[in-house]
Structure 1
């Protein structure tokens, strides 16, 4: 299990049957990550107030909490999300059979904490992948009508879920692939750019 060396100030909606009358909160130390997942779901909100926690780590934890409490549509794709979840620059060999099990957790790839059924990692720069969005449309796979295809050969890893329902208990098979990459893109109004959204397939050569 992953240990989390910080404290959460947990605030419960009133009335709450497990707490004495008038007690609106309690402080607990959460160690295993899976215990954090189990505890956060019924909470109204969580304030992270550890002075030793970095801003980056604080944002990651708040993202987890947002995922737990989200009830509407999933978050829109962003350039930062694609960079974080797809682009890899790892010292671990792409052929390692445990690549996906480790990288999916490290990069926090999930659907509101539910295991992603499949995922692709690409060993390429974001700029190279972004350029693919300006390539002409080609016929795609997996029921997707239109994709953009890379002009160069790209290496990557295909992760397929084998067991588990929620993080961090997702287990994956890892398949090294090298070939033409097919992606989908969309226009992002906020930044005025077309951005890659998802990797559909790597057509091995």
Structure 2
């Protein structure tokens, strides 16, 4: 009598193998594409680690649009689609838009002490002054662009993570964890 391992060795080994990720050379597939578009494709289809934070990316995704009122009920629906806030084309569960300048948040990273934050992350920075923000909470949808959000205006202390950036040799804002209301 033979066991499953000796009788069906090859199919069992094939089940243990990880699927091969296709290596796509986006420049060859889209010869006239801009560098931003190629970076966008790489972000969506990559399986590797995330890229380090950049000032431009943080401003694009987190800083609130000064031309719009943050009290608008459709603020989150419009801004999340306009600013392309997603994770591999999936809807994000929650997101914050902060109504201040990048320099103010970077100052929080460099001058404010570390505090514990939520979700088990040990190192966060909290502002010592109140900042206006918009909290976006997913109400329906799973894939872009069918994501719909409720918008909540908040006025509180920004709790965020910061990361060291080797090229500029400074701490940069990375992700807004929460806006704690007093």
Task: Identify the structure with the greater helix proportion.
Answer: 2
| Displaced runs of 4 or more, over 4 A | none
Which residue number in structure 2 is paired with residue 34 of structure 1? none
Q: How many residues align?
A: 158
Partner of 1:93, secondary structure, is: coil
Task: Identify the structure with the greater strand proportion.
Answer: 1
Which residue number in structure 2 is paired with residue 63 of structure 1? 39
- The one of 64, 68, 77 aligned to 1:88: 64
Q: Which string of whole-angstrom CA distances, capped at 9 and with x for unpartnered residues, describes residues 112-137 of structure 1?
A: 22111111110111000000012111
Partner of 1:201, secondary structure, is: strand
RMSD: 2.2
Q: Which string of whole-angstrom CA distances, capped at 9 and with x for unpartnered residues, describes residues 12-67 of structure 1?
A: xxxxxxxxxxxxxxxxxxxxxxxxxxxxx9x86431538xxxxxxx3443233223
TM-score (norm 1): 0.70
Structure 1, unaligned stretches of length 5 or more? 1-40, 51-57
Q: Does 1:112 align with 2:88?
A: yes
Contact 2:125 2:160 (8 Å CA) reproduced:
yes
TM-score (norm 2): 0.78
Contact 1:130 1:196 (8 Å CA) reproduced:
yes
- The one of 129, 143, 150 aligned to 1:173: 150
Structure scoring higher RCO (CA < 8 A, sep ≥ 6) equals 2
Cα 1:44–1:100 shift into 2, 3 Å: same
Structure 2, unaligned stretches of length 5 or more? 1-21
